[in-house]
Homo-oligomer: A and B are copies of this chain.
């Protein structure tokens, strides 16, 4: 069997290695357009910031090491320019302009995706994208040569924010221009607000709803036109506007395409041509929660798909069932991670969902160093299944999202979250882990023990005079921040001061994080009041509505004493 692989990074390299482990005799040829294979794609931004200091760290594998270990014929600087399906061969162009054909028995198509580069980007040497090792070295060389003071990062997704952090770490003053009202599309707006505050605190000039419409690099700097008329200049621009699948070859070869032109594959990663498999950022996969087609251009799925394609070439019928889009971002001191659907995706999929927002310590509050994270969990209101989760905080964030990702994968309900037997010792968690707590919180809502409203409801509520706004924080907390017109009765005084409440009115309760106000709601309900709990409390409201600084807000720990 002779296997040709187009693309030697995540999916292609994994496929080649697995192929060799399964078939010592196969002839395996990998064509890589760039000069590097199996490189540390996700590490590229960190090279810019100096966290990864040596070039060799980015390029762990070389064509030579791949040959030695896996007896794979890796040809870099070799671009496949055509797939000739009828003849089962590919046309290859080498750096010297030579062209030749290479035949295959089976082909694996793994070219990845390319950064969006709008027509206005031109070809200035001050306008970059960041996708390959070459891109990275180009930016790094530019910085070393020109000593830029300022940079514009256009785009607030993973690459944009990782680049922004790393350029800032390098002492460059960074402006991030993001078209949407929020950064990081996997997150809901409210969760993204925590990231907005944190970036701004770290000195990044974040401009939301700022779509770049033109770039002018004719001077010694680059001027960016922003829709609506504003203009901003910087020494260079990094375009991080997202990626599109590299599917021109596939399209020209007549392979069946799907979303945004991505290659359509079956569960075995086989395209419409039974001799051609496709993996990685170039393919359309299934979202395992909605069952719908999706593009998930991430390293994890690409690696898994590469292995599965190799399995199938060798007669192991393994299948790729799809992705949940689990992801994580380091942003300065914060970690932000998400799994499954966010609100937008749930709405698009017509899933009737609810959500809870918790502010939970990563470990026992009495053990040093505990820090709260904001954890939002979405569930299907019909069957109680967990459909998505997002968390932002300082420690233990990736752990909770990975556990929730496993729960989503397994189709667990909120009740099952409460049953998870998670590892507890004071340095690591609490006796009831935040994941358990999310299950309890959802159970309380689904069981009718409490109703809740969110920050979205507050502007309207603040205008009504037929309700009571009850703030059950301590007096000190109340002084620090409260809703106009709110009545302050600390939760511990509620039983004795209930006569201060108007029984004819619905009571909208808040505390700092939403936990004491839940207790207050239980007390009120038992006393015949209609009431509702502000999800996420005053803290979350301020983060979202007032752009409140996540760090400046007192880091209350939700032990029972304070909450």
Contact = CB atoms under 8 A, between A and B. Distances in A.
Copies of this chain, how many? 2
B46 A367 contact: yes
Contact of A46 (B303, B338, B398, B426): B426
B51 A367 contact: yes
Residue from the set A327, A365, A366 with the largest chain B CB neighbour count within 10 Å: A366
Given A410-B412, A432-B303, A366 B57 contact: yes
A495 interface: yes
A288 B420 CA distance: 11
Interface stretch (A318-326, A352-360, A456-464): A318-326
B52 A368 contact: yes
Nearest to A527: B24
Interface string A409-453: 110100110111111111111011100100010000001010000
A328 B405 contact: no
Given A24-B523, A431-B302, A421 B366 contact: no
B299 A431 contact: yes
A421 B25 CA distance: 32
A560 B24 contact: no
B398 A420 contact: no
Given A367-B52, A403-B406, A42 B424 contact: yes
Interface residues of A, number: 99
Interface in A150-167: 158, 162
Nearest to A406: B406
Interface in A261-304: 288, 298-304
A519 interface: yes
A402 interface: yes
Given A327-B423, A522-B24, A560-B61, A432 B43 contact: no
A339 B422 CA distance: 8
12 contacts: A23-B526, A24-B523, A42-B364, A43-B364, A52-B366, A52-B367, A60-B365, A60-B366, A61-B560, A69-B519, A325-B421, A330-B425
